[in-house]
Amino acid sequence: MTEQRNEEARAHALAEGSTFTWHELYVADGEAAVRFYAQVLDWESQHLEMEEGSYPMLVANGRPIAGVQATRDNPQMAGVPPHWAIYVAVDDVDARLARVMEHGGSIVVPAMDIPTVGRMALIADPQGAHLWLFTPSPGKCQQA
């Protein structure tokens, strides 16, 4: 039953095309951000254990809605300003990256696979606005 529900959610998000499937907050102090949003918006938090370590998530109405990335002490994120990032579901990250380049956009973070989660890449449109493209792993439920 859960497998079928996950597949239906995945198919729905991909069919929508404009469905924003996930949000992520980048800040120096992830724990402080979780506390802030929990206090201000009555959200809860939970952690997802991944190969890379524990991934904090903000939860509303029992449902994970956003991840939190701490940038302090992470050399790969040196100079990254505090911001919210958004992810949109696409059918094929790599095929969409080719189209980004064809139409004057650029690739900010090349496509990468996150085990058990999916494939993603960060793009910039011709005016410099950033957006994450995301294709979930088969059997994974969309977050939004």
pLDDT digits (tens, 9 = 90+) for 94-138: 999 999 999 999 999 999 999 888 999 999 999 999 999 999 888
Report the chain's terminal Cα–Cα distance, integer Å: 19
Q: How far apart are CA 29 and CA 98, in angstroms?
A: 35
Q: How many CA atoms lie within 13 A of 37 on its CB side?
A: 22
Give 142's DSSP letter. Answer: P
Q: What is the pTM of this model?
A: 0.76
Task: Identify whether the C-beta of residue 119 lies closer than 8 Å to the C-beta of residue 113.
Answer: yes
Query: In what helix (H) or strand (E) does residue 8 lie, and over which residues does it extend?
Result: helix 2-16
Q: How far apart are CA 134 and CA 111, in angstroms?
A: 9
Q: How far apart are CA 125 and CA 14, in angstroms?
A: 21
Sign (positive/negative) of CA torsion 77, 54, 114, 43?
A: negative
pLDDT digits (tens, 9 = 90+) for 28-54: 999 999 999 999 999 999 999 988 889
